[in-house]
Amino acid sequence: MIILIPLAIFWVAILLFLIRFMYAPIIIVDTDKGAVEALKRSWEITRGKFGKLVALGIVFLLINIVGFIALIVGIFVTMAVTSVGFAVSYRMLAYEYDLKNKEEKIEGKTDTVLPAE
């Protein structure tokens, strides 16, 4: 029991980091950023989305299992589908993050600049 609790905490921490950093490779390809910048961006765009991303990963896993069961040939189709789904989820998170930051910058500027009357 003494060993199982720290081991469980360790695996939860590993899962957290894997989920938060899973978009780093696609960010490197998409934006030509370095590894450190890609890790930072991945951490930023996944903030507050842990539960949804875990659910998405489970759905992708189930789709691929079904493809494997379908005479193993189906895995080629399901891997392509889940890869596209992964890319689309990245685009959605990046767009949402960029839109949110743009709105915060605009709101920050309107708070400091008084309109001319």
One pLDDT digit (tens) per residue for the chain, 117 residues: 788 898 999 999 999 999 999 999 999 999 988 999 999 999 999 999 999 999 999 999 999 999 888 877 888 899 999 999 999 999 999 999 999 888 877 776 544 444 444
pTM for this entry? 0.76
Encoded amino acid at 25, one letter: P
pLDDT of residue 104: 76
The residue with tokens 């060993």 is: 3
**Which parts of the chain fold into alpha helices (H)?**
4-21, 24-31, 35-45, 50-69, 74-112
Give the whole-angstrom CA distance, residue 4 versus residue 9: 9
Encoded amino acid at 88, one letter: V
Give the whole-angstrom CA distance, residue 75 versus residue 91: 24
Is 60:85 a contact under the CB 8 Å cutoff? yes
Give the whole-angstrom CA distance, residue 57 versus residue 51: 10
pLDDT of residue 74: 85
pLDDT of residue 105: 76
pLDDT of residue 113: 46
Tokens of 88: 């689309």
The residue with tokens 């500027």 is: 109
